[in-house]
Structure 1
Amino acid sequence: MNAATGTQGSYWLETAPPGAPAPPPSGDLTVDVAVVGAGIAGLSTAWELVRQGREVAVLEADRLAAGVTGHTTAKLTAQHTLIYDHLRRTRGPEGAALYARSQTEAIRHAAEIVGELGVDCAWEEAAAFTYAEDTRHVAELRAEAEAAREAGLPAEFVTETELPFAVAGAVRVSGQAQFHPRKYLLALTDDLLRRGGTVYEGTRVVGLTEGEPCVLRTDTGVSIRAREVVIATHFPVFDRALLFTRLSPRRELVVAATIDEDRAPRDMYITPERSTRSVRTAPYRDGKRLLIVTGEHFTPGTADAEERFARLSAWADDRFAGLTFTHRWATQDNDSTDSVPLVGPLHPGSRHTYVATGFGGWGMSGGIMAGSLLSDLVNGRETAWSGLYDPRRLASVVREGTTFLKHQAQVARHFVGDRLPAVTALAPDDIPPGHGAVLRLGGRQYAVHRDEGGTLRAVSARCTHLGCIVAFNHGEQAWECPCHGSRFAPDGEILQGPAVRPLEKRDLPE
């Protein structure tokens, strides 16, 4: 941890900490619907279904709303960087309009929920801007503003913003929102429980048998029978649909600092320049707001976060001057190869299993949209945009063939290249405290970490998801898989799926 960039940890988790954990099920269960994953997509789906009279159980491997959702930037917007000009070209004006309608409906629905439940979640209406400083991107921004406006959003091209630096141009979309995601979801969960739903934390699902009913199996051997199953684990924990071939994981860093009220931007900003820079502020205290800056994205397992945290903090301090950093954290997103989330039936033969994934960094509006869409599908109804998000779509995969093949080539390089002997290799004694490295010893690859006290520990270097070789992220003290984004603690315990088994502990050879 670097003192210049604040305390390691999410502001959202600090200001809405988890209470006493909901215990795992003590025995086998039978419910109408089992929702696997308690992030915004899973909890939104469960809440919608409970309101409609369904008996629902939510199964979460860790703590609810403490994973990706607990580490988001928490923008609730239909303006997703440069999405609409892309959709206009790949899905036609009708597809772009359906995307805009579905995301806008999610924002409206969230506002209604906040009002209905009286949720104190720092809800603020704001405009969303996608900007560029380089004049070479102006034509791109103008095309995006036109496409977003055609799709039905209140979009316009502007050259002035409240940012303390000049921009070459920006797309402005009014009527968007920002909020405290954990406070929102904790209120949703409280209402879900009042209505008879159940939530189980510390419950890792490791098996699924589809049928009538479907049967889920946990890592403790408990079985959950359910008429319908929703997989909302961010990256799907079950690969039978081959969705992992259409998803690429992306890790992104966040730094937060206090800023005086009179200097704080009130709208939300993002630029694809410089490996992304996203800016928003949130209410804080003592006449301050919290400036939240996100960026420096990279594929898990391919970069160390420490230098990137420093770069992101330096950019924020350069642009906003005199900041006092309070927090830093990281989040992880999955990009679909055709830029549209995958929400709907798990695979072509699905009758009772559904999935929500691939939100591409826009999981707040996407997750709320998914909750409404999946609850409709479970109840035998389709929306106007069901086909847009349907994971079984194939035409878009063909249209986005270059992106699909590029992603598969990257994965293939790790499957093959990471197994080849290195030209030079460290020895265990070469690893300094707080660091880790993959070592080839006696013909096997070991993931070796030395803790701050100097003790070495070793685990298998092969990810338990599909066998790629992990790499160590010193800045976040984690082993990361570059293929599908699984993350493990230094001792091999799972931090983030899709892996459902820890890295196997190993003894180093003499």
Structure 2
Amino acid sequence: MKLPEPRSYWLASASPEVPPPVTGLPDVDVAVLGGGIAGITTAYLLKRAGRTVALLEARRLLGGVTGHTTAKVSAQHGAIYAKLKGRFGAGTAAGYAAGQLAALDWIRSESAVLDVDCDLSIQDSYVYAEGSGHRDELKREAEAAAEAGLRAEYVDDVDLPYPVAGAVAVRGQAQFHPVRWLAALAAEIPGDGSYIVEGARALDVSGGVVATELGRLRARDVVVATHTPFLDRGFFFARMAPVRDLVVAGTPVDGLVPDGMYLSMDTHHSVRAAGSLVIVLGEHHRTGTASDALARHESLGRWAVGRFGLGGIEYRWSAQDNTTVDGLPFIGRYPFGGDHLWVATGFGQWGMTNGTLAGLLISDLIMGVDNPWARIYDPGRLSVRQSAVDFARDNAEVAAHFVGDRVRAVIAGDPSRLKPGEAGVFRQGMRLVAARRDEAGALVTLSARCTHLGCVVRYNDDENSWDCPCHGSRFDLDGTVLGGPAVRPLSQDSGE
């Protein structure tokens, strides 16, 4: 299948304004690191509360996870409520639902206050199954979700152009254009001592001082909202799994788009409409483990065209997020970071509500306001012990990549034989080399060791990047960091 070049529909159809220029990095009350939904929402709320805020983004605002989502604003996060009830009890499940609904309600009310045209529309959300074997599980989930406080029910039929065995419907959820929404919030931040700086990658935080590529910044409080926390002191890299999904979008030939938002329990395909487009997400896999990423994207495109009668694929992009070992995000005080270091991560592919909730929760904590959901999301919680098997399994997979990828590199062959557009990891004496021959025929070689903890990167032929299978760091073809926890680029291989 012919696919277009990677391009997010959200970023192609809107973009945030370039922030006003700033001389140096003036001291502020709060430094917020990360220009996605969690960082922007947190900075907006703190600025509105009277704090001076610096919002620092390593690349461009919304150029990371938030600009590559499907943008469902829903408290239905797959079949999560039966699991939360079974693992933590009905109280935690109800608290989780209440927090997600509060985030949704805040977006609805604040978008009206600011008069933001972000295509916000109320939609019902569905988790469905095509196979009858999931019916009992869906019914249990519908009961647990309703008990948790959602307007949930089990239904037999949905508005999809193919039959389903059953679904959990949650009424009154929403979808929107995330870039238009967050660009409007970001526009409210600069001024009165607050500012935004793009291209300012944070390298370290110590004693209220943030070291960045552009210099040092002092702040009383620091919020790390960088998708994957780059500070290893909280060991978040070992408490989460980096997960990547592929996305395609196209227009049905008959012009009919589904009413509602959908997630398949069988295949993890996610579906929603955006105007005349149908947006489909799928091919769920751990970052850096797919040797056939382009083929997977083509497969997803064929599935979307076949199921929804698309005239072709007009946009394609990829999304990445982190899943915690106990299924709950980490939002709150940074473990081992003192009283003024905060973190928001582990949104589990549901960043629109979880990222918004992170802003509401962290801004409350910094302002000294009690928040009813702080305990549930506490990054220092001990519930990871209840997920010891999952924790051990994930880190065993990391260890397997750390050792096994070095063995595979030994038999990878000779990089000089690469054809234009081809890439791979090779052993050259004692060195591990990430090599790619560009379309003009020039061979570009980098160190293949991720600069986070030294795992071996793998070539992503779908997005032309080097991805780390251990903790999800991603690098551009020239070695530039695309996403952490790594903060330093892959080094050039000298060939010596």
Contact 1:255 1:327 in 2 (8 A): yes
1:431-442 superposed matches below 5 A: 431-442=418-429
From 304, 310, 323, the equivalent of 2:311 is: 323
1:450-470: CA deviation from partner (whole Å, max 9, x where unpaired): 111110011110001111110
Q: Does 1:493 align with 2:487?
A: no
- The more displaced of 124-133 and 380-389 is 380-389
Determine the structure 2 residue equivalent to 1:368.
Answer: 356
Contact 2:28 2:193 in 1 (8 A): no
1:448-467 superposed matches below 5 A: 448-467=435-454
SS in 2 for 1:78: coil
SS in 2 for 1:253: strand
Determine the structure 2 residue equivalent to 1:506.
Answer: 493
Distance 1:184 1:414 in 2: 39
From 293, 297, 314, the equivalent of 2:280 is: 293
From 239, 254, 268, the equivalent of 2:261 is: 268
SS in 1 for 2:232: coil
Q: Counterpart of 1:353 in structure 2: which amino acid?
A: L
SS in 2 for 1:266: coil
Determine the structure 1 residue equivalent to 2:6.
Answer: 8
Determine the structure 2 residue equivalent to 1:377.
Answer: 365
Contact 2:16 2:183 in 1 (8 A): no
Determine the structure 1 residue equivalent to 2:209.
Answer: 215
1:193 shift after superposition: 2.5
1:33-432 superposed matches below 5 A: 33-193=30-190, 197-210=194-207, 214-220=208-214, 222-259=215-252, 263-274=256-267, 276-283=268-275, 289-303=276-290, 304-348=292-336, 350-394=338-382, 396-420=383-407, 422=409, 424-432=411-419
Contact 2:16 2:179 in 1 (8 A): no
Contact 1:251 1:330 in 2 (8 A): yes
Distance 1:419 1:33 in 2: 42
Q: Counterpart of 1:418 in structure 2: which amino acid?
A: D
Inter-CA distance 18–453: structure 2 relative to 1 (3 Å threshold): farther
Q: Counterpart of 1:370 in structure 2: which amino acid?
A: A
1:414 shift after superposition: 1.7
Contact 1:434 1:477 in 2 (8 A): no
SS in 2 for 1:57: strand
1:86-140: CA deviation from partner (whole Å, max 9, x where unpaired): 0001110000000000000100000011100110111110000000001111111
SS in 1 for 2:251: strand
1:64 shift after superposition: 0.7
1:7 shift after superposition: 3.9
Inter-CA distance 312–228: structure 2 relative to 1 (3 Å threshold): same
Q: Counterpart of 2:395 in structure 1: which amino acid?
A: Q
Distance 2:255 2:155 in 1: 22
Sequence identity (%) = 48
Contact 2:15 2:180 in 1 (8 A): no
Contact 2:450 2:490 in 1 (8 A): yes
Distance 1:297 1:452 in 2: 29
Q: Counterpart of 2:362 in structure 1: which amino acid?
A: L
Distance 1:22 1:300 in 2: 35
TM-score if structure 2 supplies the norm length? 0.97
Distance 1:397 1:216 in 2: 29
Contact 1:142 1:157 in 2 (8 A): yes
Distance 2:170 2:317 in 1: 28
1:496 shift after superposition: 1.3
Inter-CA distance 322–367: structure 2 relative to 1 (3 Å threshold): closer
Distance 1:163 1:110 in 2: 27
Distance 2:236 2:350 in 1: 19
- The more displaced of 361-370 and 4-13 is 4-13
Inter-CA distance 326–140: structure 2 relative to 1 (3 Å threshold): same
Determine the structure 2 residue equivalent to 1:286.
Answer: none
Q: Counterpart of 2:257 in structure 1: which amino acid?
A: A
1:310 shift after superposition: 1.0
1:196 shift after superposition: 5.3
Q: Counterpart of 1:85 in structure 2: which amino acid?
A: A
Distance 1:217 1:50 in 2: 22
Distance 1:295 1:454 in 2: 34
Corresponding residue pairs, total:
495
Distance 1:72 1:166 in 2: 26
Q: Counterpart of 2:335 in structure 1: which amino acid?
A: H
SS in 2 for 1:482: coil
Q: Counterpart of 1:202 in structure 2: which amino acid?
A: G
Inter-CA distance 421–148: structure 2 relative to 1 (3 Å threshold): closer
1:305 shift after superposition: 1.6
SS in 2 for 1:208: strand
1:244 shift after superposition: 1.2
1:266 shift after superposition: 2.1
Contact 2:247 2:318 in 1 (8 A): yes
Runs of at least 5 residues in structure 1 that lack an aligned partner in the other structure: 284-288
Q: Counterpart of 1:451 in structure 2: which amino acid?
A: D
